[in-house]
Structure 1
Amino acid sequence: MDSINNGELSFEQAMERLDSIVSKLENGDVPLETAIELFQEGMKLSRLCGSKLEQVEQKIEMLIETEQGFQKKTFAPVNDDKGE
């Protein structure tokens, strides 16, 4: 789990491990202590993936076609939350 804390896992590796953990927990055949450990590892992986996605969002630039041609524009995610 040190690789999770150090951020050494790639996004794909973290997602693969997270998928494996979810499958094990959904199966329900793991002892309670193991389930708790897997859940904790899954939460760390989830935070790692979220952090990596945020980093990527900050780096994305979109090309916007304007009358003058294409311009680079920093990516700004659209907030679809309507306060409901």
Structure 2
Amino acid sequence: MPRKQAEASNAQPDFETAMTELETLVQRMEGGELSLEDSLKEFERGVKLTRLCQEALKVAEQRVKLLSADGQESDFPQQGDA
């Protein structure tokens, strides 16, 4: 396998791609037509995707905190609250 293809296969999906894949996994598993072995593989993939999404959200939250004026957690004003 060429190096770029190997690197691409090891690359993690971005948040949106992971969420879309998770939704697809859930639908397939809820369909009830997977074998036990396939269900376990899909579940394992789902756990990995969930962890990836949780980490992406954690990083995004940290970035928002850094970008806020005082670094304190606070509710962002809603439209019309100014």
TM-score normalized with structure 1 length: 0.68
Q: Distance in 2 between matches of 1:30 and 1:56?
A: 35
Which residue of structure 2 aligns with residue 43 of structure 1? 47
Structure 1: give runs of 5+ residues left out of the alignment.
63-71, 79-84
1:45 to partner: Cα distance: 0.3
Higher strand share: 1
Percent pairwise identity: 31
**Aligned to 1:24, which of 17, 25, 28?**
28
Which residue of structure 2 aligns with residue 73 of structure 1? 70
1:16 to partner: Cα distance: 0.4
Structure 2: give runs of 5+ residues left out of the alignment.
1-8, 76-82
Q: Tell me: higher relative CO, structure 1 or 2? Use CA pairs within 8 A at least 6 residues apart.
A: 2
Q: What is the total number of aligned residue pairs between the two structures?
A: 65
Query: Alignment RMSD, CA only?
Result: 2.0
1:75 to partner: Cα distance: 5.3
TM-score normalized with structure 2 length: 0.70
Question: Residues 11 and 52 of structure 1 are in contact (CA less than 8 Å); yes or no, is this contact kept in structure 2?
Answer: yes
Moved over 2 A (4+): 73-78
